[in-house]
Amino acid sequence: MAEAFGQRAALITGASRGIGRGIALALAHLGGYDLAINYHSNETAAQETAAACREEARRAGHRLRAEIVRGDVAAAVDRRALIDFMRTVYGRLDLLVNNAGVAPSVRADILEASEESFDRLMAIDLKGPYFLTQLAARYMIEQLGGRVAAPGEMAIVTITSVSAYAASTNRGDYCIAKAGLAMHTKLWAARLAEYGIGVFEVRPGIIETDMTAPVKARYDALFAQGLTPIARWGTPADVGKAVAAIAAGHFPYSTGLVLDVDGGFGVRQL
């Protein structure tokens, strides 16, 4: 087993860029965790994230180990390999962040959308996190060795979207996947409470990333028209701070909690 720095370890899926990178940087700033930066295809971006995390930790006065690990969460063999990586490299897993996800290849009206697109998106965005959580939870329980985790000691966080409840008829598969992840959080929260493992959902709104770049002009106009009370794009750093608050143990008497990072999108106004 390679040497870590005697602290907890976190696995962040889809962490090479965007929201995943923002989460990794927030955890690096927090301190107390070595990081596994999961990526699927962009190794260069993953290396950049790992280097940025090391530098962020240095500036904050921490030491950490940040390693990259390739894996497609849609593939069972890769999900197992991610947990094996945590066993071999860090010898532990204390925080899982289910962040990896994709948008539809083509935004298609639900009257026309294809099964192929649906199946691809469900495999990555819903099935992958569900079964990775199963593997991670088993490993966490094994680590506990029959005891109950202390409040805030272990957590599983899933990044969803306001699309869990806000309907977009040109990307129905994405909305259904995110709604499924909301229930995934409730299910795992109920199942893992006896072990003291907290399970949380962080629900971003309109976040400025590569994924949203093609619709930037549209949302710029919507913000100007009052789409959200906080009239700006969200950032990956905004989401990262929410995950870091969970990782820091600031919600010791909560599980199944939804943290909205959406500029107030869900606020109804008259």
Give me the active site residues, please.
174
36 - beta bridge partners? 11, 67
Query: Which burial class, exposed, middle or buried, applies to 141 when counting CB atoms under 10 A from its CB (0-12, 13-18, 19+)?
Result: middle
Token pair for 24: 């990794």
Torsion of CA 237, 241, 246, 250, to 10 degrees: 180
Residues 15, 160: Cα–Cα separation, whole Å: 15
- C-alpha pair distances (Å), 231 with each of 24, 222, 268: 26, 9, 15
Asked if 248 contacts 30 with a C-beta cutoff of 8 angstroms, the reply is yes
Q: Write out the H or E segment, with its range, that includes residue 68.
A: strand 66-70
**Tokens linked to 94:** 């204390």
Reading the block at residue 55, the tokens are 């530098």
Torsion angle of C-alpha atoms 55, 58, 60, 65, degrees rounded to 10: 80
> Tokens at residue 149, please?
């985790």
